[in-house]
């Protein structure tokens, strides 16, 4: 996906969505424990890929690229995916799985590092 690529913009974005983003979002609940720098690095990689796909110059803001492509930033997509996973687990027919995810996020202290609590900290 460089400047001389013969792929259309639609195909480039499909590649980014289908391969890279899905691979990273696959374990979205585990990202609750990731450091901010790790999430920031992945966001930067995704920004670079989008810039390469669009052939956007350096002065175009990432927010403008997201808006034009109707693309969600990585942090937002990560949070939505993890919330959907927890929602599905809460409605699961097996009681053991429901017990695992059913706890109050606000009731846990800052010292307890549970995935859903950490996910609530992501902005």
In whole angstroms, give the CA distance from residue 88 to residue 35: 25
In whole angstroms, give the CA distance from residue 28 to residue 80: 9
- For 43, the domain range is 9-121
User: Is 2 part of any domain?
Assistant: no
In whole angstroms, give the CA distance from residue 100 to residue 94: 10
User: Is 4 part of any domain?
Assistant: no
Confirm if 39 and 31 have CB atoms less than 8 A apart: yes
Q: How confident is the model at residue 19 (pLDDT cuts 50, 70, 90)?
A: confident
User: Is 101 part of any domain?
Assistant: yes
In whole angstroms, give the CA distance from residue 53 to residue 18: 14
Number of structural domains the chain divides into: 1
Tokens coding 83: 């919330």
User: Is 82 part of any domain?
Assistant: yes
Please count the other Cβ atoms lying within 10 Å of the Cβ belonging to residue 120.
15
User: Is 57 part of any domain?
Assistant: yes
pLDDT computed for residue 2 by the predictor: 67
| pLDDT single digits (tens) 25-82 | 887 777 777 788 988 999 999 999 899 888 899 999 999 999 999 999 988 888 888 8
User: Is 1 part of any domain?
Assistant: no
User: Is 111 part of any domain?
Assistant: yes
In whole angstroms, give the CA distance from residue 23 to residue 19: 6
User: Is 69 part of any domain?
Assistant: yes
Using CA atoms, how far residue 117 sits from 26, 27, 56, 86, in Å, is 19, 16, 37, 12
């Amino acid at each position: 996906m460089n400047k001389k690529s013969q792929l259309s913009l639609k195909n480039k974005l499909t590649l980014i969505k289908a391969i890279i983003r899905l691979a990273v979002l696959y374990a979205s609940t585990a990202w609750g424990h990731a450091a901010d720098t790790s999430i920031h690095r992945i966001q930067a990689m995704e920004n670079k890929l989008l810039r390469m796909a669009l052939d956007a110059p350096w002065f175009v803001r990432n927010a403008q690229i997201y808006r034009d492509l109707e693309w969600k930033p990585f942090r937002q997509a990560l949070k939505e995916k993890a919330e959907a996973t927890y929602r599905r687990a809460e409605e699961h027919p097996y009681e053991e799985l429901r017990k695992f995810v059913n706890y109050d996020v606000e009731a846990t202290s800052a010292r307890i590092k549970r995935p859903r609590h950490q996910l609530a900290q992501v902005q």
